[in-house]
Structure 1
């Protein structure tokens, strides 16, 4: 019983327990290697590998898709390419282990030498210089070459080896142990041929999982531990390889044994009680020794574990509990219940809390009620000495329960540090936004004065009839143009620095009429037509931020157009999640490799392009601040499409609220 309880605990606490089922089935590739794996006449996969994988997958909660392959090399290639998740049983050679991850071994391929049962060869040493039969091209050829000075005779099939061995045409056969025994049993000559000890080659075998799929190997190994026993492997081996003939297969022997059994029945009945008690005593001793081994292993787990019976009385606790909570061990030794243990940890201050005694009792009773119903939620508790634990109380089978406490103090400390750093980073970002805003404001006044001064000087020179030489006229124009660009940069920087705070104030708007007002402010170039789709879906957004985003997109399309005439179309469509508003132009377009770069602050595709390089950066920052996205794509046959998304859920909730108020 204790062994079952401990196995349940190890499964609960293992990483594999978190993976109950995959979204997609396991893809297992297998080769035509009868009887380990093959496709039968009905097209179904069969064999030792297939049966074992089906049992493992069933225990782990998976489905399996079987994919036939020609040979082991093909299986490993499918594993590397991602076409398969796991192979059939393979000898775990270094080359194959380099191609994937091996599961726990499930047996071994043995290459043995077989001789006539009454021949002159009695051991491997006697095979030196003899004639040895092998199947042409099989791995038995390399094994047979381990026999000194052996003369190899190659045959086409395994069945072709049997008769020459019986007639003395060859002295021995080298073949796979299980496969050759199966052939001998089918031919009913197993008792005339013996396998020599030791094997020539022994290679452990198991399944090989894709190298990047460690979680799958973990789950398969957990299923192997829980569902694959030596008894089960023996049953599968007997199914596919048969069994050795025994005396019971002889009819006369069976009758003789039956008569002997009847005659001995009385003696067995008389001796039953004596042997029964001795046997039971031995079994109890063995079980106790096994339980002690498992308990010893559990003591090494870095967690505090207590096991309770159906009455919630402690029946076992591991060494980890004694190390982590030494003050609570005396209560356990006195037979304390789970309820008493948890209440004590709250009352004596072991666990940090500000609850009254009544609240503590109510909380503990709720824990226990949930646990008995199978609802074992993980909760975080902190002790007075600063440690942090993940606590879980679980039901084990029908009559047992367990409390698990895992120390996660170091992890919690790291999480607290990250949270503190996030607060500090936000404060630094706010300081940076304030600095940017102040700087932009401070620069704006002298720039404005500079622009006015340039304008006044131009007016004075015109009034005085002063004309400048062409070179100075060009420099004057360039100075005026650069000053205006500087003013635009400062204004854009001021808007960009205040985007996050401004975008949070929002209201419901009608996009179509508002876009017409935005267009009037944008001032489209002569020769350009701007088409605004009517009856666009309503949006909840900051109106000023909306106007600035759309004006920037319209001005951007007009400014970068390469012709004297063109068309810009503003349209919208609604999905379940968002309203998508698009600005489509028929300009020169943007190369796809620049789609990400254009949204970076101060980035311009051409040095001759007017502007500060903050327009698209401002658009991206503003749109993302209200939870939307902005994307760029190519228009057909030419041009660019900028698509801005507005979360539909916000607009829908506000619309519902307005309907309720109206009702």
Structure 2
């Protein structure tokens, strides 16, 4: 315990002394103007060298920069060729300090050594495949060293050797490899670093034991005792074992390992690849076994499906990626027996379809060239994944629903389902629809003619009533009160009859006129409709802004909305009220609602009010055709109209319109029927 305390005290006293010296050196340097330290360094990679950009680098350079910084000094570096040149500059006063040198007695006569910072370990290096394997084999050989370096001391330890001096460490490598010299004596770390950088580390080995182990440090000019004192103080206070290890790791790197050997790397990579291949093959072996079992189960299920298709008169053919038939069910052989021989010979889907059209199996009126072009386009679409449902007829009168699809990435399928009975029923329905349309057209024609024939005499009757009234007024004839009442009743009934005929004419011709649709903006158009209606005094009519665009016949739209707005105003039971027009969107439809706060419509009348000539009240004028006209017109463009109660009172009429992208198609379909 006493020895440990004594060692601790000595360490504390040493650090305190170093701090005192460091402070004294700093004061001296400050007083002298803090001239930069002039350091000469040799080209002794990696201890000291000049890099490609002309900057000094290496272990010596990094350590001196750190020590000088701690001492509060700057450093100026200039390169020299070898240790002899550095010591010469030191003696001549051209430099203040050298890079790291072995602190031998001879060198210490030329300058002052600093604290030891490490040790040079001199070793002999020889060719790996050469005859020299031990230090004893070096006797009488030619040994290369760097001129003026500490390695000369080690080389002279070899008995009867011939020492050859070179300018730099790099100059030693090629002569050793070519046999010009038998061995090289150099610092182990430095020479190994140069061998690694030259990629010849595997060709040269070092011999054990080391020839010489000598401590190294910086050598200061003999007249710079204060500088040595400052450097030693900085070394004692800041240069630690961790710092030295970090600098050495930076510049010496690491020795080659087994992994650095290319053969070892390739061997490990090859072994890894083989192991991965074995594991992969094993995985796929078990995977394919499971897949095969699943395929067997799927095949059994497919057979059940194919048998079910046979029962419903369905034909199926499976093709490979080249569109060659690889399987077809029994139903195909029964339905298309003329094509089966071609399939058995390896016919493709294209050849099969062309044959069925050319030989007349499929009913058509196309030329051979048209058939080929059609089938080529069909096959091209199928390969792109496009599949369309088609209806084909055979010459014996059967009708099939045909579809060809892509099954995954390696198969295609053709499906043919017999729908002859369904098609016959559809044909009957179509014929009945045509007959019904013809009858409806005759009825519309009759209604139109009747309305026109009634309109002319009614118009004449109204004019006659007006003329008689004017004549009596000019003649000064005053009718008795009861006759005036009857006269006004005749005039009112005649006008009502005229409105009835006009509404009947519009109702009869709703679907007979051309339905030209266009995109409209409802909000703007409804304001124009409102101007034509002429709102009642004391009533507010509100039209929502920015309603969705519609594609509809604008004239029909105006007539429908004008009737709804007029009904809301005309049938209101109060002196003041409101009407609100709004639009909502749901799915493929836009709904415009007309809501009022009038008396409303009882729920039991919601359906019957749309029947022609139906009126809920006789107290207001009307023909009873307005709502019937609205329903017929709205349904003609594919929409709907309905009524419901408003809260707290009143009624809401909702008219649906197909969205602008689908409205025209829906309207054309309704007209065609």
Length-normalised TM-score, structure 1: 0.45
Larger C-alpha radius of gyration, 1 or 2?
Answer: 2
